[in-house]
Each structure stands twice: as C-alpha cells, then as structure tokens.
Chain A
Amino acid sequence: MSYIQGETGDWEIVIGLEVHAQVISNAKLFSGAATAFGAEPNSQVSFVDAAFPGMLPVINEHCIEQAVRTGLGLKAQINLHSVFDRKNYFYADLPQGYQISQYLQPIVGKGEIVLDLPDGSSRTVGVTRLHLEQDAGKSLHDQHPAKTYIDLNRSGVALMEIVSEPDMRSAEEAGAYVRKLRSILRYLGTCDGNMEEGSMRCDVNVSVRKPGEPFGTRCEIKNVNSIRFVMQAIEYEARRQIEIIEEGGKIDQETRLWDTTKFVTRSMRSKEEAHDYRYFPDPDLLPLELEPEWVEDIKKTLPELPDDKKARFISEYKLSPYDANVLVSEKARADFYEAVAKGRDPKLAANWVTGELFGYLNKAGKEIEESPVSAENLGGLIDLIADNTISGRIAKEVFEAMFETGEKAADIVEKKGLRQVTDTGAIEASIDAVLAANADKVAEFRSGKDKLFGFFVGQVMKATQGKANPALVNEILTTKLKG
C-alpha cells in the first residue's frame, strides 16, 4: 500500500476509472456515416447524427460484436438481454438532446483486469460493467472570440464505457490499469487506444480516506486524455482533497477538469448544475437479445490475450516476469519477439529484443511496427552469434549498422569484414606475438599475478580487431601461459 503523508498522518487514495473507448468500426453505432478520424468538419454526419426531425436509429451489428468481444476479453459476464436507454441533457455537441446509452441493463457485466506493476507483481482490479453508447460531437472554443463551433463528425460514433470498481490505490496503479486495458483492447482489435486522437478517454474518480475508514466523497476528473495526465491529475487531486480535509474543510462531490497547462484540476463550470438525466428505455429501439451461440462463436475467435501470453512466455521461453511483461504489453512486440525467438535461444532473443532493439527504437522515437530491423534480420544476427560467425561484442556493432541501414546482419559482417576468427592457427600466432612482446608480463603472471590474464586477452583482441573468437582466445591463452 502506498500512502500519502499528510499533516495528520497517512492517507489512502481511492481511485475508480471510467474509460471511454471508441469502437473500431467503419460506420457509426446507429447511423451509416463514416467514423474516420480527422475528416473535414461535419462531412461525416448523417441526418440521424445531426438529430433531424423524424430520424431514427438502427444499430450496427459489428459494434455489438466488438462490445461482446471486449467483454469476453475482460473475462466478463455477457448479458444476453440488454437495453438501450436515453440519457437526457442539453449540450451544444449533443444534437438529440439525449445520448443513447445503456443504464440499468448493460451488454457486459462484471469482469476483471490484472495489473502488471513495475515491480513485477500483479494485482486484480474489478470491472463493474461495460456498455455501448453514442459519442457526442466536438465543440471548438478557439475558432472565434465569442462563439463555439460545433463539428458533429464524432456524433454517434460507438463508444464502450468501461467502468472499474474503486479498486485502485495509487496513481501508478491507475496508470497500469489504463495501460493494461489499452493493451487488451488493442489485442482484441476493438479500440485503437489512441489517446491523442481521443479514441480513448478517462474519467477519473478520486477520493481520499484514512486507512481503514469508509470511502470519502469523490470528485470526478473528466476527459483526461493521456496516461501521464491521469497519474498527474490523481496526484494533484488527492493532495488537494487532503489539504482541504486537514484544514477542516469538506469535499464537494463535483466534476473537475485537468488543466494541461497549469497542471491543476479545476471545477467545471458547465457541469455545476445538478444533473437529472431522466433515463428511460429508448422507444425507437427494442431490447437487444443475443444468441448464446453467437457469443460462443465470437469467443472462438478471441486471440491469445496479454495475461495468457505472458504466462506462456514465462513457461515456454523461461523468461522473467519482467521481460514477459515488457514483451506482451503490445501485441506487435510479442509477435516480433516470437518471430525472433522461433528456433533460437529464447533468452538470447528476449535480451536482444528488450535490450538493443527497444533501446534503439526508444531513442529514435519509433514504434515496433516502424523498426528498421525486421524480426527476420534480428534473428539472422542472433544466428551469426550462435554459429560463432561473430562475437556478442561485434554483434552490437553490427546491430547499430542494421538499425541505420536496414541491411541484413550477414551482409554487414561481410562488407565490414567482421567475421570472427576461429582459425586456431591464426589465433595462436597472434597470442604468440603478444606473449613474445610482453615477456615481462608473462613472467609476472607466472609468478602468481593472475589478474594479468585480462590484459593478455585485451591485447590479443586488439591485435585481431576484436574478431577473434573470445572462447578460443581464452582456451589457447590459458594453455600457453601455463606453458
């Protein structure tokens, strides 16, 4: 447990998250308009999305499937009977004056997410529910000094709202939750998880309490759009609440906003009024009934998810939980790794992928999909180490060149003449030369100064430009020095 130290002692943070994940689909939840990001304003809007008189919703089957797929991925209960409700409120970017959502009977019930914490440990967070709903349009406030501009392209796009239990106790856990959820959604192909484009947004519920006491009053921080901001907002908000309570104040349950320039949360003026959403079943739609066989069919198409993959990597490849975590966090990484590891030493493959490759990618700001070194080529490099064509040390040099040029390891080794010397005759000759040139050191060694061994190795490697096979050098040198 990580507590926050206040004036009056330890405080515990209690966090619950509501994540809005945009469903990957061609068309919107209840209309046939396109969902692509970044289109010209109002160019992907149907009369249904703009709530023109007489327009009616018809549900997109694929969006239902995506929600069920996600539910199955969260090991959650799939509700074969669910209901779409209207959530009534007025807002500039809500043309219907209501949002079609699911209230009392969501499509997905209780599930869970296993968090992989930085120290390698795991912790399970409960998922309360997942429901389908329409996204709102977008209000642009900076186009005109006195006006707000409304773009309805996003209006009606399918969202999954995934609600967690208030099970998290630190900003780190909340960050791990969002990362893991995003990873699962990406594995499933149900949401691209792109927080910058707004296809995944978090509402963060934060309260504080003295350890062991009941939950405190919570504040909801709306629409936080990066994992870093989620964590920062929690830290800030918890301290703000502790300060208020310790000064004898009371927390008002309210909706707040994360100010990304001042790094503070502040009360949302537009949400000040008490809401009364007047939920009721949408009479334009009927209850959604799912066939158990249909759900089963979806289940059969689920990919191996991060938790299972991690377990398999640990048992099959004997990786550490830490390395397994790093590799399975993104499906593309895991796939890359498995392509490299296939028929090779899995530990060595993991070291190269998580070490050199991730390091270089990170430095270059590239995703694994953009790696100049393909899995096949990295495998080729590892093969050259395994068959003693090059040493591990030379391999790093080769890798650097591969990352720059995208060429195959063998070609680089050939071109640069980096092939390891395994000809015992040549190595012997080099060693003889080194020993002859350092007769005094040889005498010292033989009189007991063992540490000089490294000096001889270094000299031999220098003489062979690092190409001598280190194992052979060791072996022959040992024999000769004993001489």
Chain B
Amino acid sequence: MSLDKATVAKIAHLARIKVPEEELDHLAGELSQILTFVEQLNEVDTGNVPPMTSVAAQKLRRRKDEVTDGGYRDAVLSNGPETAEGFYVVPKVVE
C-alpha cells in the first residue's frame, strides 16, 4: 500500500497531530514502507481463525456498585495547564 500526501494529511488530522507540510512527503514514504511490510500478513490463511481478544484467558471481572473513588478535585486539577473555578479551561468550543 502506498500512501499519498493527502492521505497522510487526513490521518494526521484524524489523530489531531499537526504535521508540517514539508514533512508530509517523507512521512508518506515511511508509512507506505511500513504498510507494505505488514501486508505480508495477507499470505496467512486466517479463514476461520477467531481474532484474538485477549491473551489473558479469563473472564471480565466485575466491581461492586460502591463509591470508592473521586472526591479529590484539587488532585484532579493540579496538573491542569489551565483551570478556573474548579473547571478545566479550553478555548471556546462552538457547537
């Protein structure tokens, strides 16, 4: 699979990573190379093979419905780059 610049720009946007225009070409080359490498999997017959969900052969464990966490607003906000009045703050979002 060969990715073009436009596709790389689209993926970068989907991943919310700003990629400088001048790096797109090079990146497209690298990503294409990786995709070509991983496409060797097409050789493997996986007809009825179930996709692996987890290597841990066990059941999903469940918690009791008890309040055991939270209630520490200061700790939650202490690493925040911008906070005010107990909120995280971001540039205005228009819906």
Interface residues of A (CB under 8 A from B): 25-27, 31-34, 40-50, 58-64, 83, 90, 92, 139-141, 143-152, 257, 268-270, 276, 278, 281, 283, 285-289
CB contact under 8 A between A143 and B85, given known A26-B66, A40-B73, A49-B70: yes
Contacts of B90 in A (CB 8 A): 92, 147-148, 150
Number of chain B residues whose Cβ lies closer than 8 Å to a Cβ of chain A = 35
The 8 A-B residue pairs with the shortest CB-CB distance, nearest first, are: A33-B70, A32-B68, A62-B65, A32-B69, A61-B62, A149-B87, A46-B69, A150-B88
Q: A160 vs B20: C-alpha distance in the bound complex, in angstroms?
A: 41
With a cutoff of 8 Å between Cβ atoms, the chain A residues found around residue B91 in the complex are: 146-148
As a 0/1 sequence over residues 37 to 73 of chain B, the CB contacts with chain A under 8 angstroms (1 = contact) are 0000000000000000110101111111111111101
| Nearest-CB residue, chain B, relative to A138 | B87
Q: List 7 A–B pairs whose Cβ atoms lie within 8 Å, in order of A's numbering.
A: A32-B70, A42-B87, A46-B70, A46-B76, A59-B63, A83-B53, A289-B60
Q: Are B92 and A148 in contact (CB under 8 A)?
A: yes
Interface presence of B81 (CB below 8 A): no
**Which of B53, B64, B88 is packed against the most chain A CB atoms within 10 Å?**
B88
Q: How far is the CA of A146 from the CA of B90 in the complex (A)?
A: 9
Rounded to whole Å, the gap between the CB of A133 and the closest CB of chain B is 16
Q: Is the interface of A mostly helix, strand, loop or mixed?
A: loop
Question: In the bound complex, what is the Cα–Cα distance between A443 and B52 (angstroms)?
Answer: 101
Give every chain B residue within 8 A of A90 (Cβ-Cβ). 16
Known pairs A90-B16, A257-B95, A283-B54; A32 contacts B76 (CB<8 A): no
Q: Which of A32, A139, A140, A152 contacts B63 (CB 8 A)?
A: A32
Contact B63 A34 (CB under 8 A): no
A45, B86: Cβ atoms under 8 Å? Answer: no
List residues of chain B with CB within 8 A of the CB of A281.
53
Residues of the A chain whose Cβ atoms lie less than 8 Å from the Cβ of B64: 60-62
- Provided the pairs A31-B69, A32-B67, A141-B92 are in contact, do residues A59 and B62 lie with their beta carbons within 8 angstroms? yes
B60: contacting residue among A34, A45, A287, CB under 8 A: A287
Which single member of B14, B63, B88 contacts A149 (CB below 8 Å)?
B88
Q: A27-B68, A34-B67 are in contact. Are A150 and B89 (CB under 8 A)?
A: yes
Contacts between the two chains (Cβ within 8 Å), count: 138
CA distance A286 to B57 in the complex (A): 9
Chain A residues, CB < 8 A from B68: 27, 32
* A286-B55 Cα distance, complex, nearest whole Å: 10
Interface contact A42-B86, CB-CB below 8 Å: yes
B86 touches A50 (CB 8 A): no
Write out the residue numbers on chain B whose beta carbons fall within 8 Å of the beta carbon of A25.
65
Which residues in A have their C-beta under 8 angstroms from that of B62?
A: 58-61, 64
* Bound Cα distance from A48 to B67, whole angstroms: 13
A257 surroundings in chain B (CB, below 8 A): 95
Residue among B53, B67, B76, B93 making CB contact with A45, cutoff 8 Å? B76
User: Cβ of A147 and Cβ of B89 under 8 Å apart?
Assistant: yes
Per a CB cutoff under 8 Å, which of B69, B77, B92 touches A147? B92
- Chain B residues closer than 8 Å to A268, beta-carbon distance: 95
Docked-complex contact B65 and A43, CB < 8 angstroms: no
The residue of chain B having its C-beta at the shortest distance from the C-beta of A281 within the complex is: B53
Q: Which chain B residues border A83 with CB–CB below 8 Å?
A: 53
Could you list 15 further interchain pairs (A-B, Cβ under 8 angstroms) beyond the known A44-B70, A47-B75, A257-B95? A27-B63, A27-B67, A32-B68, A33-B69, A33-B70, A47-B76, A59-B60, A62-B64, A63-B65, A149-B89, A270-B94, A278-B14, A286-B60, A287-B54, A289-B59
Closest Cβ of chain B: how far from A328's Cβ, in Å? 29
Known: A83-B53, A139-B93. A45 touches B87 (CB 8 A): no
